[in-house]
Amino acid sequence: MAVELVMPKMGLTMTVGSVGKWLKKEGEAVAKGERVAEVLTEKITNLVESPADGVLLRIVAPEGTSLPIGGVMGYVGAAGEKVPGLPSVAAVPKEEPAAGPVPQGASGGLAGERPSPVRISPVARKMALEHNIEYAYLRGTGPGGRITKEDIEAVLASPDAAPQAFLPAAGFDGAPIPGATSPDEPLTGFVDERPYSGVRRIIGDRMLSSWSVAPKVTHHARADAKALLELRASINEMLEKEQRFTVTDMLVKITAMALRQKLFMNVSLRGERIVTFREVHLGVAVALEGALIVPVIRNADEKSLTRISRELKDLSRRARENALAPEEISGGTFTLTNLGGYRSTEFFTPIINQPESAILGIGRTNDMPAAVDGEVVVRPMMALSLAHDHRVIDGAPAAEFLALLIELIEKPLQVLL
């Protein structure tokens, strides 16, 4: 009897997933436990395994299809086996419809400074992008403020109710940019073309939402990293290669210590409330091929440098294998992103990982002249870029936090405590 291949539940809050890519074709042999498809949520990409030995008899949900948890993606069974009557693949749970066009400030209208990340159904997101609607400005009428298909239809039916939701096609005044091409204009001379979908679309949506919602300020400073680098080298001389600490390991520990002392940076704007978190859950950006993911080290301020290093190595490895659980990339309170390994980057403007309120960017460490005890010496100076959401964190407290980070980097023995 053919066995259903269904959309798995990948987290407590997941209700809908999208088929990102089929790794097997219809008629191909599969083994029980073999990976046959990639599925996407708003937070993670994961792999679906075959529930049985046999062949992939039928693909019910093509790539890009959204399904509820338990929705049938396809069937696996013996070659030539009949497939049961096919269900509809458009079976995303229907949410409460909007009553119609809604004025600004009411349900379905503009949300103003909307808390992020924006909750929106895959169908609604697709419609919004097709009609050039910036959905970050909308107030959803679905459960928990989720934006539904009906909310997008309400905006389309009455655009005057939410005029800010429509993005200009080009330029702030809607005028075409000289020399720009339209999406429909034939292109020549390009070397590659691929759909803006899947993980790339999810990352893009989250970055656009954060950029649109948060009035961001970025502070730049340098820290003398001589003592930090010397301490790391001394410790690593005593360790096996696989146990050695990276600069990122030490910066995670330092940042967590600073957040423990300055909890005003460990905050989030949730609707009409500013929430200060007692626990320090530090996200660390990991670059993947064509993607970016932020696994979270929980209670980082309470962990030793050794434990942080071990966890970070494990999370990074499993991130590259698409093997992280949803709870391992959610619930962060602050993020660190390290581009110091690239010769090209010193200071930059990292985008806040909403709904967090701040992010620390680490740039290249360069040998530079510095004044030490009245003399000019050459020191390895580490570039730091601290971005924060000015709605909830003012400039002076952010500068105070950055000053503490610099102090801990320049006097790093505390990381061993």
Q: How far is CA 69 from each of CA 41, 52, 143, 261, 354, rounded to the nearest angstrom?
A: 11, 19, 17, 42, 25
**Integer Cα distance of 108 and 146 in angstroms:** 10
């049985």: which residue's tokens? 52
Q: How many residues does the chain have?
A: 417
Tokens of 80: 């030539």
Q: Which of 138, 172, 130 is nearest to 155 (CA)?
A: 138
The partner residues of 378 in beta bridges, in order of sequence, read 369
Please tell me what DSSP assigns to residue 355: T
User: How many whole angstroms from its chain centre is CA 212?
Assistant: 15
Residue 216 one-letter amino acid: K
The partner residues of 365 in beta bridges, in order of sequence, read 382
Element (H, E) at 48: strand 45-49
Contact predicate 353/335, CB 8 Å: yes
Contact predicate 109/44, CB 8 Å: no
Q: Is 220 a catalytic site residue?
A: no
Q: Given 131, 219, 220, 390, which residue is catalytic? A: 390
Mention every residue, 6+ apart, whose C-beta is less than 8 A from residue 239. Answer: 245
Q: How far apart are the first and last CA of the chain?
A: 60
Please tell me what DSSP assigns to residue 329: G
**Integer Cα distance of 22 and 35 in angstroms:** 9
Segments in 15-165 forming alpha helices (H): 122-130, 149-157
Q: Is 219 a catalytic site residue?
A: no
Contact predicate 244/237, CB 8 Å: no
**Integer Cα distance of 9 and 228 in angstroms:** 43
Helix axes 226-236, 247-261, angle to 10 degrees: 120
- Which residues are annotated as catalytic? 390, 394
